[in-house]
């Protein structure tokens, strides 16, 4: 999968931009606040119809403009086609091959990306919400059904939480409606869990040998799915549904006391262990970074396994955060098989001899110039 070119209109500090890319490693070079990360954000937003940096999409629209537009030319093994996403104060419009998509789940997955930024180093030691987001973003790109089910789950969850509050305050009294919402949530929750558990097994299978290689055979990585409902990999959708319903039944009084839904995928987490010890609590910073690097490289391979094509890799100022050894493993793993976009303020901190003929773009004040042109 290759992003051949991208065009921006009124996106962040770019009033207008059109730029073509190489199939290999593309380096965005420039000082801070010149537009490097904005260009990276645009590629991510073209793929996922959202920003990795902000939940307020209006921030992506250039000052005093009504909308921002990103278009890109995507090349896959069997076809080449345009993608377009427009962010406005009224919402967003997504088009595939010039045709507007009624649902974002039909749009997302046309261009697959893996983003690795300094904040991703918090994936292991950060809050559980970071790891749930990681799961949802990667699965959502690979499986439109998962993305559709996730949107429906979040909608029912919001309704159920609201109704629990209304029951507690006496504004509502109908227990039957709560039961209906509970069953709907358990059905969707079981669907999500099936996909998550399958994905974790695939991810671990790819991440384990990668982690072992990076740690020079010293460390063994395991990934476990952590839920407040008793689960196992062998459970099918029906068994998972029954487990969720049982948890809701047993926890009914607790949910009433707290007026919030306490069970389901929205409360779950991942546990990473190295040599049997929880990396989040007991791992060194080096072990935590090796774990995240292994996960990111495993993501790339998982996507290729599921989709039959490698995703695009976005490295946003992350190489400076990795030591020489981890830089080497990262660049060696993606060499000549993954189109890569990399931002940096200087090439000094990058092992240039490990990057095979990069295409360098100098970025200053929202203007992009390819080196040598």
Distance CA 73, CA 259 (A): 48
The answer to whether the annotation marks 349 as part of a ligand binding site is no
The answer to whether the annotation marks 102 as part of a ligand binding site is no
The answer to whether the annotation marks 165 as part of a ligand binding site is no
Whose CA is closest to 172, among 108, 253, 256?
A: 256
The answer to whether the annotation marks 283 as part of a ligand binding site is no
Q: What is the dihedral of CA 76, 80, 85, 86, to 10 degrees?
A: 160
Whose CA is closest to 272, among 69, 149, 124, 56?
A: 124
Distance CA 200, CA 216 (A): 24
Reduced to 3 states, what is the DSSP secondary structure of residue 81? strand
Distance CA 18, CA 6 (A): 6
User: Which own/partner contact pairs does 345-351 have at CB distance under 8 Å and 24+ positions apart?
Assistant: 345/29, 345/30, 345/31, 345/32, 345/317, 346/29, 347/27, 347/29, 349/319, 349/320, 350/319, 350/320, 351/324, 351/327
Q: Which helix (H) or strand (E) holds 277?
A: strand 277-278
Tokens of 16: 């207008």
Q: Which class for 249: exposed (0-12), middle (13-18), buried (19 or more C-beta within 10 A)? A: exposed
The answer to whether the annotation marks 35 as part of a ligand binding site is yes
The answer to whether the annotation marks 343 as part of a ligand binding site is no
The answer to whether the annotation marks 281 as part of a ligand binding site is no
Sort strands 312-316 and 367-370 into parallel, antiparallel or unpaired. Answer: unpaired
The answer to whether the annotation marks 30 as part of a ligand binding site is yes
Distance CA 148, CA 153 (A): 9
Q: Which residues fall in the annotated binding site?
A: 30-37
Q: Which residues fall in the annotated binding site for ATP?
A: 30-37
């Amino acid at each position: 999968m290759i992003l051949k070119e991208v065009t921006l209109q009124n996106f962040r500090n770019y009033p207008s931009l059109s730029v073509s890319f190489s199939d290999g490693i593309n380096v965005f070079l420039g000082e801070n606040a010149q537009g490097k990360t904005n260009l990276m954000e645009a590629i991510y937003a073209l793929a996922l119809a959202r920003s990795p940096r902000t939940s307020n999409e209006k921030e992506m629209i250039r000052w005093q403009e009504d909308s921002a537009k990103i278009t890109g030319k995507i090349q896959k093994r069997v076809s080449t086609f345009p993608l377009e996403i427009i962010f406005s104060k009224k919402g967003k419009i997504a088009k595939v091959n010039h045709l507007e998509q009624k649902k974002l789940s039909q749009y997302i997955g046309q261009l697959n990306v893996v983003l690795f930024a300094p904040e991703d180093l918090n994936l292991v030691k950060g809050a559980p919400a970071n790891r749930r987001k990681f799961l949802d973003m990667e699965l959502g790109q690979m499986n439109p059904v998962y993305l559709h089910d996730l949107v429906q789950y979040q909608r029912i969850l919001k309704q159920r939480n609201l109704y629990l509050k209304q029951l507690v305050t006496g504004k509502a009294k109908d227990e039957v409606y709560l039961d209906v919402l509970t069953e709907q949530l358990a059905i969707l929750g079981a669907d999500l869990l099936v996909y998550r558990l399958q994905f974790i097994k695939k991810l671990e299978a790819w991440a384990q040998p990668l982690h072992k290689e990076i740690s020079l055979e010293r460390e063994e990585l395991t990934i476990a799915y952590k839920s407040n409902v008793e689960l196992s990999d062998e459970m099918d959708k029906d068994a998972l549904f029954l487990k969720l319903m049982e948890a809701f039944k047993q926890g009914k009084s607790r949910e009433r006391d707290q007026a919030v839904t306490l069970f389901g995928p929205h409360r779950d987490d991942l546990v990473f262990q190295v040599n049997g010890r929880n990396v989040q609590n007991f791992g060194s910073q080096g072990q935590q970074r090796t774990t995240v690097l292994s996960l990111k490289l495993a993501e790339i391979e998982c996507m290729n396994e599921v989709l039959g094509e490698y995703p695009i890799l976005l490295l946003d100022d992350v190489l400076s955060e990795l030591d020489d050894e981890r830089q080497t493993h990262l660049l060696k793993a993606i060499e000549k098989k993954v189109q890569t976009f990399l931002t940096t303020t200087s090439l000094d901190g990058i092992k240039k001899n490990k990057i095979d003929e990069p295409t360098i773009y100098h970025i200053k004040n929202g203007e992009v110039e390819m080196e040598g042109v």
